[in-house]
Structure 1
């Protein structure tokens, strides 16, 4: 299929289509990972986006049954330099093209991805569309400039019905803003009794479940579009320990009075260095976000900056001064990427245990006072 990618800024890239034969419109972003395309395609945080892979050869180890981050992918499309038709891997079960056909997804190959990445780095994230090669380019560009993108991505990827992943350990409510399965895996690996709930749940409904902790997941889009999240978080602060990841991190910032802004071209890949300001240690992290916390706005809040990105010095972590609540902008569950920051899940377990012990001690003291 002769196809072309057209950006709203006027650039045109000719290539060959793969997957389903259909026009694809979305926000064009780039990812710097050398591997992990299966996890990327199935990551709900890419909802509505067309992703350009900067690594030139994609699909060389195929698709397998184990590396999904969601049941159904939310990505709009994929852009690659060279698409591998003959994967070589003992876990391979189908090619990337076959997977895209099965899931009714579309992509384009034989694109100069280095040139495209330079355009995105220079001009920032832009709208783009993959169309047939014979489409009139000037007409497409005009339509792109007047076409808006959806703002309800979180609602479209969040679970509608609560479900449980039973365990015999601490009880965690995972608020699904577009959660990756990697988060659930890390919690269940630590024997947590996890209940996954929709993004529109209320604080009152969560507290009735008597959780030991709250996990606020990753997710797509602008954090300011998730209108109910600040009220949810403020209704939980101080009552139960909270850990936020990526979008969950941004929502904690908004709930506590900070502001967010859109990055020029975002952070997407498995090779981003982050400095832990409290431990003075650097971790190589997996990231996928297009928005960040405004550091200047933190001064008027009860939040402390705990991590920064070494590439551009933007915020990567927060901790509440008074309540058991912390968050990171990156993905400690990785998938794909390094597991340097995996220890944060252990920190969350310790936070929940300490909070539970403090509550138990306070309750015993109250009972002792009541006897006299």
Structure 2
């Protein structure tokens, strides 16, 4: 009996020992399998992420002082991230004095710049975050022959300045007298929908900067850009120069809204830029300029335009009218909105000079005054 009892106890202990060893072996096997599976899964994930193409960074609308920003590009089911530094305050690839190449067609400009510009005329630096975002607003009509030259010159100019920008060409529909100011208001309101932009460059299609040290950076006060132009032999010493605000200028949204945009009543060439100067003065702002040896502009040749013979009389009556004449009173209809490879084209119906009550009132008053 004693021997049998001892034998049974030994067998029980032996069974328990083998059971423990089997459990340990099974546990080790499971852990090993889990490690292998996790390693394989991680390897597959790394391969998947490395295959994701890095796209261009998203559009930035941050102003000065931006040092870094997180960019994202996505494939079907994975995300890669990279941090871009802020662009330097002085762009590193500026050339200084520039030659303006004239008579460039739109197709030639597209062939030269198409790869570096997104449809609609959007462009931004690839390797840093732009300090400023700028909408370039260009009013025109019957100037298609100058568009290619403008695009060819300005895309290179703006890209070297490492700006986040887009170019909007605002065309007036119909055959009425040209109203540059209304088109500028339309351009501001329509481009604002795709912003906000840090500032807006109101730019004639026939004005091209001749020095890229003339930076299109936003400023605390409205900036007059076209300081010295070739059509006046770059002279800046006459009296009218100090109140000249034409050709090209740069304003923030706050500046534009503070003066209620541009006057709507100047039909025909001239007057609207002088009116804007007065609006800026009435709003207790001042106009800033770069030195004239930097702010030089080549003026492209064009046919003479119908002149607003009443512009000076209308201007003299601007004694605070800007509160009711501008962005808050313009009526227009966008007839076409088209993305071209190097610009966004907006065709606008801006009304007629014959059914503008404020223009008729001003004109009738001027006739009365001239007859007295």
Higher relative contact order (CA 8 A, sep 6+): 2
Q: Which one has a bigger Cα radius of gyration?
A: 2
Structure with higher strand content: 1
TM-score of the superposition, structure 1-length normalised?
Answer: 0.29
